[in-house]
Amino acid sequence: MKNDMSTAQIFIEGSWQSSAGSKTFQAVDPRTGEAVGDAFPVSTWDDLEKALAAAAACDRTTRDWTGDRFAALLDAYAEELEARREEIVNLASQETALPVAPRLNDAEFPRTVNQLKTAAGEARDASWANPIVDADNNIRSMYRSLGPVFVIGPNNFPLAFNGISGGDFAAAVAAGNPVIAKAHPAHPGTSRLLAECVEKALSKTGFPPGFVQMIYDVAPEDGLRMIRDPRLAAVGFTGSQKAGVAIKEAADALGKPVYVEMSSINPVFVLPAYLEDSGENLVGEFSTSCLMGSGQFCTNPGLVVLPPGEATPAWIEAVRGRFSEAATNPLLAAGVKTSLLDSVQRLVNAGAELLTGGQAADSSGFIVQNTLLQVDAATFLNDPETFQREAFGNASLLVTTTDISQMAAIAGTLEGQLTGVVYTTEEPGDEAVYRELEPVLRRKVGRLLNNKMPTGVAVSPAMNHGGPFPATGHPGFTAVGLPASIRRFAMLECYDNVPEHRLPAALRTS
Amino acid sequence: MKNDMSTAQIFIEGSWQSSAGSKTFQAVDPRTGEAVGDAFPVSTWDDLEKALAAAAACDRTTRDWTGDRFAALLDAYAEELEARREEIVNLASQETALPVAPRLNDAEFPRTVNQLKTAAGEARDASWANPIVDADNNIRSMYRSLGPVFVIGPNNFPLAFNGISGGDFAAAVAAGNPVIAKAHPAHPGTSRLLAECVEKALSKTGFPPGFVQMIYDVAPEDGLRMIRDPRLAAVGFTGSQKAGVAIKEAADALGKPVYVEMSSINPVFVLPAYLEDSGENLVGEFSTSCLMGSGQFCTNPGLVVLPPGEATPAWIEAVRGRFSEAATNPLLAAGVKTSLLDSVQRLVNAGAELLTGGQAADSSGFIVQNTLLQVDAATFLNDPETFQREAFGNASLLVTTTDISQMAAIAGTLEGQLTGVVYTTEEPGDEAVYRELEPVLRRKVGRLLNNKMPTGVAVSPAMNHGGPFPATGHPGFTAVGLPASIRRFAMLECYDNVPEHRLPAALRTS
């Protein structure tokens, strides 16, 4: 498609401008596979250069502002979003095929607004900055902003993790950093609506041009060039492991803070007495968690390890029934469908048995049958790398064991994960298994759950939405959970023997 | 030298064992250039494999211990050190040529013991772990140990930054991690004494074998292999940029926490009115700071930017006098001497004028004349990369300006630094320059000082001994300053819906 007058504009330098790029793309309706809406530009370096210059210029003004200014922006943005709620959730639903209700309107939209408001509260409160005054030595330190941040959002949350409205965005702004957002090309229209709300909020709160900017898409080499640019201070990314690793490598080589949230299969271990006692409830709980949103959650339970024993075959059969009966919904994009079908084929080729599903459910849209696979522990343990590769979407792999000690052995082969779950009673048999399993599992996961599916990620100060590599790039940081998530986008500033009038306000004592 | 019965043993698996490596080395007396003391082994992979296995096994026991156990070890170690103080400082002085008094006995030894005791206090107090209990959601989180840590110490602090007794060691242990220390080959005998003290402390406090282990040296490829080994959880390194970058790259590729403290030239800016008013005092203050310990401090002031004006030439001449008259002391090792002479030559080749020094001061020992160089701002700005490369040792480069705006321009070309200093009055002229300079300098340095040399690094909770790359690998962490330094060696553990009896003690509410 050629770049004509109908091509959407990018939001840079405080205004809507035509992209210098001549390539364009359209959103695709996942229900039909057909292109919908306006043409959106793929930005080239010229756009990024402008955005970087504007962000750096803006930063020179805003870096000395106190938290209440950034809080005002976040609150104003939340208000603008509320005013266009219906339009936003409707367009997001069109572009992603996620249902307006309950998903977008009743869950993701309120969560997004709540995150922005909570981040505003933390920016105002400023305890995240941890000011320390050592009066005896006249040394003071606190965390402060570090400069323009590039936030790259994923396909699976058009609002709550969007580069221009999600958790990384809110954290980077709360810390006082200008943001250059890359919207995900799967929902460009939604992202444009969000940017229009930001624009109003920026204007109402008196921010200079360039504090928040947005592009729709960019070639990987230009994106990496921006990451390496000295004007860019940090990167937040949520998406695929392949892109995440490339981004992390580029930033790491320059010692630039980079936070990547990548793949996770979120293993679930079901202990024997639990399956006996509560297996029936678990059929529904697991099926709902796995198939919700067509399984397109970072914390989707993609691997379930089952105990030896008579209860297991019946439980598997019950889950198989649920999966085959449950409604299917479109996946987010053509690439998700292709990748899911490939992943299922790979698992089958490696020796997994297909219990149900495994095929495209329509020809033009992006629907894949709900898919359940099964493999025995010995086969899994023979090639754990293949069997734990993520199959993003409405699919899960069940692992049957013949000896309960295989549970810890399987846990021992896992890469880092966002979450890990153990379903267990408090009976002595389960407790003994737990005591073997937990030490192996604990350090492999950011969040350890008992008797609860991992798909809900509460916005709680105690939340850890993070975990060891390759779930993320560093096990000490979380992408959800304020105020901890803010400190990712900050540097530690120390002032030694600096007089009061030259200190940031939070470090002054008189 | 062949591996015979007199070769020192390494401290692994809880005991003193012969290294599997056949290569050995000796310490060298920097005063004479002659080998002194026992032969020490260069470990090969077999040693590292044993150490990793022992650390991992130990970790399975100690990871659930609470902070008071690690505190007891740190306190017991401090006590053992005190008991052998004289022996330790004397041997350290022989191996490093640093004076027993005041440096080793009156400054570095007490600092080392103080760090261990302070870390013990923080391990006991455990506020560093930041436990958060969200009772409404039944979600809890805290920072906890992450597993065996490899601590690699530098040549310039045989005690306070030694892999087996320094700040990284204390932080890693306080977080509850087993440590595999690599002593620096410049002071192996000192490191052995320290390990003997650790051995006693481990025994007295009932630690399993392998909680602290030490090797003396290792080939880079074996060291990198250990960093990549899945049993190793994190790395702490202080030393050269070349080694640090290689270590960081190996760890980053696996998303393994790595903290490298590398090079820094610690720029000092002297504003016009300050030079007029207090230039005379600054001559002594700067010369002392630069030449102390033969300039072998991470925070040594290696670059001084001087204002235009009549006071400057006289100030330079006074400093030149001090440098040429001041006593010289041996550098730590042959490599430091070679590297310093090379660096001086490189600066001269690039256009700097040698004001004094620049030559070896003896033939067999490691003494280099106190060296002062000068370059004008225009020449500096023409090739800032060359002029800011670190010349580690008793040398400094003065930069003269013809226009005060060159100060901010020079600051703008600098890489990340541990420290940056501005000497300034509160007169309007200086304040105006400060307001131009500070925003450029602030984000380039971990610690910003006014009217104070950077060479003292107080052990204060407000201290930041860190800074943007390449001073370190991440601007949000500090190597000195408790409790912040502890959290580097920890992961964030979240517990979601986990019953009380399965939680770490710090997260229980009943």
CA distances to A126, A502, A504, B475 from A508, in Å = 14, 9, 7, 22
Mapping DSSP to helix (H, G, I), strand (E, B) and coil, where does residue A468 land?
coil
The confidence band for A3, taking pLDDT boundaries of 50, 70 and 90, is: very low
Supply the pLDDT for residue B363: 82
Residue A184: which CATH number?
A: 3.40.605.10
Is residue B300 located within the same domain as residue B423? yes
Other CB atoms closer than 10 Å to residue B338's CB: what's the count? 14
Q: How far is B327 from chain A, CA to nearest CA, in Å?
A: 29
Q: Touching check for A492 and chain B: CB below 8 Å?
A: yes
What residue has token string 């896992």?
A414
pLDDT in tens, B241-250: 999 999 999 9
Q: Classify residue B465: in a domain, yes or no.
A: no
CB–CB contact B140 A484 (8 Å): no
∠ Cα A396 A398 A403 (to 5°): 160
B353 counts as catalytic: no
CB–CB contact B140 A496 (8 Å): no
Q: Classify residue A484: in a domain, yes or no.
A: yes
CB–CB contact A487 B474 (8 Å): no
Interface of A with B in 108-147 (CB under 8 A): 132-134, 137, 139-141, 143, 146-147
- Average pLDDT over chain A, rounded to an integer: 96
Q: Classify residue B404: in a domain, yes or no.
A: yes
**Residue from the list A140, A450, A474 with its beta carbon closest to the beta carbon of B255:** A474
Interface of B with A in 54-83 (CB under 8 A): 60, 63
Is residue A229 located within the same domain as residue A320? no
Mean pLDDT computed over A38-60 = 98
Is residue A181 located within the same domain as residue A200? yes
pLDDT in tens, B257-311: 999 999 899 999 999 999 999 999 999 999 999 999 999 999 999 999 999 999 9
Is residue A83 located within the same domain as residue A131? yes
Q: How many structural domains are present in chain B? A: 2
State how far Cα A82 lies from the chain centre. 22
∠ Cα A36 A40 A44 (to 5°): 155
Q: Touching check for B492 and chain A: CB below 8 Å?
A: yes
Q: Touching check for B255 and chain A: CB below 8 Å?
A: yes
Residue A289: which CATH number?
A: 3.40.309.10
Other CB atoms closer than 10 Å to residue A278's CB: what's the count? 15
Q: How far is B205 from chain A, CA to nearest CA, in Å?
A: 24
**Chain B residues touching residue A449 (CB < 8 angstroms):** 496-498
Nearest to B302 by CA among B455, B437, B156: B455
Mean pLDDT computed over B90-102 = 96
Q: How far is B314 from chain A, CA to nearest CA, in Å?
A: 27
Interface of A with B in 407-436 (CB under 8 A): 416, 419, 426, 434
| pLDDT > 90 in chain A, percent | 97
Mean pLDDT computed over B452-461 = 94
Q: Classify residue A409: in a domain, yes or no.
A: yes
Read off the DSSP letter of residue A127: G
Mean pLDDT computed over A444-462 = 96
Using CA coordinates, name the residue in chain A closest to B459.
A137
Interface of A with B in 27-46 (CB under 8 A): none
Containing structural domain, residue A171: 45-262+472-507
**Chain B residues touching residue A468 (CB < 8 angstroms):** 255, 491
Is residue A195 located within the same domain as residue A329? no
Other CB atoms closer than 10 Å to residue B221's CB: what's the count? 8
Total residues belonging to chain A? 510
Q: How far is B336 from chain A, CA to nearest CA, in Å?
A: 26
Give the best residue of B141, B241, B469 to mutate against chain A (max A CB count within 10 A): B141
CB–CB contact B496 A448 (8 Å): yes
**pLDDT at residue A163 tops 90:** yes
**Chain B residues touching residue A492 (CB < 8 angstroms):** 446, 464, 466, 475-478, 484
**Chain B residues touching residue A484 (CB < 8 angstroms):** 492
Q: Classify residue A26: in a domain, yes or no.
A: no
Using CA coordinates, name the residue in chain B closest to A425.
B499
CB–CB contact A134 B462 (8 Å): yes
pLDDT in tens, B339-355: 999 999 999 999 999 99
pLDDT in tens, B381-436: 999 999 999 999 999 999 999 999 999 999 999 999 999 999 999 999 999 999 99
Q: Classify residue B1: in a domain, yes or no.
A: no
Is residue A272 located within the same domain as residue A406? yes
Is residue A272 located within the same domain as residue A241? no
**Residue from the list A60, A252, A416 with its beta carbon closest to the beta carbon of B439:** A60
Q: Classify residue B466: in a domain, yes or no.
A: no
Per annotation, catalytic residue among B108, B199, B261, B415: B261
Looking at this protein, which amino acid is placed at residue B500?
Answer: E
Residue ranges in A326-361 assigned as alpha helix (H): 334-350
Using CA coordinates, name the residue in chain A closest to B133.
A462
Supply the pLDDT for residue A370: 98
Task: Tell me the CA end-to-end span of chain A in Å, nearest whole number.
Answer: 62
Q: Classify residue B73: in a domain, yes or no.
A: yes
Supply the pLDDT for residue B5: 54
The confidence band for A2, taking pLDDT boundaries of 50, 70 and 90, is: very low
**Residue from the list B147, B450, B494 with its beta carbon closest to the beta carbon of A498:** B450
pLDDT in tens, A463-508: 999 999 999 999 999 999 999 999 999 999 999 999 999 999 999 9
| pLDDT > 90 in chain B, percent | 97
Q: Touching check for A267 and chain B: CB below 8 Å?
A: no
∠ Cα B389 B391 B392 (to 5°): 125
Interface of A with B in 167-196 (CB under 8 A): none
Give the best residue of A264, A453, A492, A509 to mutate against chain B (max B CB count within 10 A): A492
Q: Tokens standing for A494?
A: 């120390």
Q: Touching check for B469 and chain A: CB below 8 Å?
A: yes
Is residue A280 located within the same domain as residue A422? yes
Supply the pLDDT for residue B1: 40
**Chain A residues touching residue B462 (CB < 8 angstroms):** 132-134, 137, 139-141, 494
Using CA coordinates, name the residue in chain A closest to B261.
A255
Which run of H or of E encompasses A90? helix A85-96
Instruction: Report the C-alpha gap between A370 and A324 in whole angstroms.
Output: 6
pTM to 2 decimal places = 0.97
CB–CB contact B492 A477 (8 Å): yes
**Chain B residues touching residue A253 (CB < 8 angstroms):** 249
Supply the pLDDT for residue A363: 82
Give the best residue of A111, A263, A445, A460 to mutate against chain B (max B CB count within 10 A): A460
Phi, psi of A225 (to 5 degrees): -65, -40
Is residue B274 located within the same domain as residue B256? no
Is residue A86 located within the same domain as residue A222? yes
**Chain A residues touching residue B501 (CB < 8 angstroms):** 426
CA distances to B9, B183, B198, B213, B227 from B150, in Å = 19, 11, 16, 10, 8
Q: Touching check for A224 and chain B: CB below 8 Å?
A: no
Other CB atoms closer than 10 Å to residue A183's CB: what's the count? 28
Give the best residue of B139, B245, B414 to mutate against chain A (max A CB count within 10 A): B139
**Residue from the list A443, A452, A473 with its beta carbon closest to the beta carbon of B496:** A452
Using CA coordinates, name the residue in chain B closest to A487.
B476
**Chain B residues touching residue A143 (CB < 8 angstroms):** 476
CB–CB contact A255 B491 (8 Å): no
**Chain A residues touching residue B491 (CB < 8 angstroms):** 443, 446, 468, 475-476
pLDDT in tens, A200-235: 999 999 999 999 999 999 999 999 999 999 999 999
Using CA coordinates, name the residue in chain A closest to B492.
A476
Supply the pLDDT for residue A418: 98
CB distance B453 to B295 below 8 Å:
no
Q: Touching check for A438 and chain B: CB below 8 Å?
A: yes
B79 counts as catalytic: no
Looking at this protein, which amino acid is placed at residue A124?
Answer: R
Is residue B399 located within the same domain as residue B435? yes
Which run of H or of E encompasses B480? none
Instruction: Report the C-alpha gap between A178 and A172 in whole angstroms.
Output: 8
Supply the pLDDT for residue B2: 42
CB–CB contact A494 B462 (8 Å): yes
Is residue B327 located within the same domain as residue B342? yes
Mean pLDDT computed over A344-372 = 96
Q: Tokens standing for B282?
A: 């600054």
Mapping DSSP to helix (H, G, I), strand (E, B) and coil, where does residue A400 land?
strand
* Model-level ipTM above the cut of 0.95: yes
Supply the pLDDT for residue A238: 97
